[in-house]
Amino acid sequence: MNHNNDTERERDYYRALCNDLGGQLLKIRDEHTRAMAGVRRARMTAALIRRLYHLDHVNLDVANLARVFLETALNALTVECAALFRLDDNGHGFRLLHAIGFTPPAEGILADVRAPAGFHFHSSASAEDEFSAELKRLADAPFHLWAYDAGTGTALYFGNREEDLQLRQRFDAADAEAIEAALDVFINVAERKRVERQLVHDAFHDGLTGLPNRALFIEHLDQAMRRSVRADGYVFSVLFLDLDRFKLVNDSLGHAAGDELLKAFAERLEQSTRPGDIVSRLGGDEFAVLADDLHNPDDAIHLAERIHNALQDPFDVDGQQVFSSASIGIAKSAERYKDGEDLLRDADIAMYSAKELGGASHRLFDSDMHVVMVSRLQLETDLRQALEREELRVAYQPIVELRNGQLRGFEALLRWRHPLKGSIRPREFISMAEETGLVVPIGRWLLWRVMSDLGEWLRDFPERAGMFVSLNVSDREFIQPEFAEIIDAALAEANVPAGALELELTERMLMHYSKLRSDTLPRLRERGISIAIDDFGTGYSSLSRLQRLPIDKLKIDQSFIRDMDRSEENYELVRTILAMGQSLGMRCVAEGVERREQYDQLRELNCDFAQGFFIAKPLAAHRVRTLLEIRETA
Ligand code: C2E
Ligand code: MG
Ligand code: MG
């Protein structure tokens, strides 16, 4: 019996011991499981982040990146629902980038939902913040966690419905690091992709106008070319545009104004084209249009006309009205073109040829233009060297006073003695010199040359003290801020009184003068230099504006003088211009007087001065000396 009792006790003892051990074992197992869950989670997180970083090397946009990212996370972390959000542009609510495992809201927007920044964890049905509440409603997952980065407005959400530890991972606060690290990776990768895309965009777009740049335009051209090889009857054209006189706007109103004009021009250009056309800024004031899939090849001409029309109205630049026009060259697709560059080059050549028509025009490329272009380029190269090689000369054309026929002065006219082509007159190269800016150094040389000739003549023929020389000044020279100082220095060096110098400015220059914010004109006149309007009547100067400008002389353009003795109408025109000039207190010079009849008529009309082949042709400097001597003794 005793023995039995002992056995009972022993059994109880061992039973208790076993229970205890069992409890301890269960505890150990639980601890092990928990530890293993931690290890597993750490491993899975590390694996997830590694995998996510791989996405960095895959070419995806942000929406697709979000999708692949969530799929990766879902697999790695055994999550049931996942979603990525971005704070909406207006700052209220979130826009869904992507969702898995639940039905997202119809518009993909959580409207008017706010989210506190940082990590948020919920393991019960209670929802503490708006974001949690909204997602609980949508995903119906009681266990969820999410993180929100306020800096980029990005939120990452994971949710689970199951409680079973074996099947699904049950989240707890220890998951904060995992989800925050995952969100970080996404933001990093997405941000880098955004920057990359921006860089790629910038590399192919013009910063000022946002238009495709030259590289992208050529790419489009090449594509169009490949298409035209494949598809019979597919035609397209390239329009090459260059703003007329843009440099003048830039130099006179400043670069900021120039930029504004370019932007406004780009907008009008886009409005004139059809949706499928590619508009590009090639650089500077050069633009191009790829007019795609034209049914009628003449459509390109119509497009050019539409562009001219769109430029009729002035632009508002910095509160000022600026008129701008463009020269347009057109080249049509053809089999002979090897690549886009070829086609663009021909459109460029056609543009040059349109420029020669005086601006605001367009021309279709033809192969003759090539030849012209090549010789023009040659001439440009030659002109660059003309200064150093001392090929430039000055010719002086006498100007007489009509009242008594006496010699009063000369107009200095530039001549270029080309080694092969002989003497070239300025009409053939001045516009080129203006475009390339060469007119500035050439003008300086000319000023210096003329001043030293005039200084010598005044010294050697003191009785000619009242004599003047008139100098043509191009717009590019005049708008130099230091123009008055340059003139001062030249006068001083050659010891020429300011009263012996006259400057001829163009009508166009003077029309724009009031917009230049320049005080060059009054400064020149203060010194006693007189100012003449050259080729008067060919521009559009209004009387009222002329009246306000400090001008001494009108040079009546030779086109009016040419047949005033044969045409009643021209005679009347000259008479009117003279009356007007006299009423404004200006002296008048008739240019291009070729016949005695004209000379006599002008004298009768009380014109002050005359210049022309009837009196004398432009003379070399040494012949001027002879002339001064003869008249002196005669
Ligand atoms: P412009 O200032 O109106 O010069 C008068 C032009 O008419 C000169 O042509 C002259 O040779 C020409 N001419 C003179 N008398 C007669 C005539 O009786 N009949 C005809 N048919 N023509 C006559 P040129 O030398 O060829 O100069 C052409 C233009 O080039 C000038 O017109 C002027 O605008 C510009 N130019 C000339 N020299 C310079 C210069 O040094 N600088 C600048 N910026 N422009 C210049
Ligand atoms: Mg002149
Ligand atoms: Mg003239």
Residue 216: pLDDT band with limits 50, 70, 90: very high
The tens digit of pLDDT for each residue in 39-91 reads 766 777 777 777 777 776 677 777 888 888 888 877 777 788 999 999 988 88
Model confidence over 256-283: pLDDT tens digits? 999 999 999 999 999 999 988 999 999 9
Ligand 1 atom closest to the Cα of residue 504 is 2
Q: Which ligand is nearest to the CA of 503?
A: 2
State if residue 563 touches ligand 1 by the CB under 6 angstroms criterion: no
Pocket test for ligand 1, best of 387, 393, 413 (most atoms within 8 A of CB): 413
The whole-number pLDDT of residue 462 equals: 94
Our answer on whether the CB atom of 618 is closer than 6 Å to any ligand 1 atom is yes
Nearest CA to ligand 1 atom 35: 426
pLDDT at 167 over 50: no
Check pocket membership of 413 for ligand 1, CB cut-off 6 A.
yes
- pLDDT tens string 592-606: 999 999 999 999 999
Average pLDDT over residues 139-163: 87
Q: 446 in ligand 1 pocket by Cβ < 6 Å?
A: yes
For residue 418, the CA-to-ligand 2 centroid distance in Å is 22
**Average of per-residue pLDDT values in the chain:** 88
Average pLDDT over residues 101-115: 88
Structure tokens at 603: 């004298």
Residue 351 CB neighbours (<10 A): 25
* Closest residue by Cα to residue 395 from 381, 415, 377: 415
Q: With a 6 A CB cut-off, is 397 part of the ligand 1 pocket?
A: yes
Beta-carbon-side half-sphere exposure of residue 454 (alpha carbons within 13 Å): 34
CA distance 576 to 583: 11
Ligand 1: does its nearest atom lie under 6 Å from the Cβ of 558? yes
Q: How far is the CA of 534 from the centre of ligand 3 (A)?
A: 5
Distance 535 CA to ligand 3 centre (A): 4
Please state the pTM of the whole predicted model. 0.61
Name which residue sits closest to atom 25 of ligand 1, judged by CA: 413
b/e for 506-515, b at 16 or more Cβ within 10 A? bbbbbbbbeb
Ligand 1 site, residue 456, Cβ cutoff 6 A: no
- What spacing in Å lies between the alpha carbon of 411 and ligand 1's midpoint? 9
- pLDDT for position 54: 76
Token pair of 377 as six digits: 């380029």
Q: Which of 472, 479, 533 to mutate to test the pocket of ligand 1 (most atoms within 8 A of CB)?
A: 472
Helix (H) or strand (E) holding 427: helix 426-436
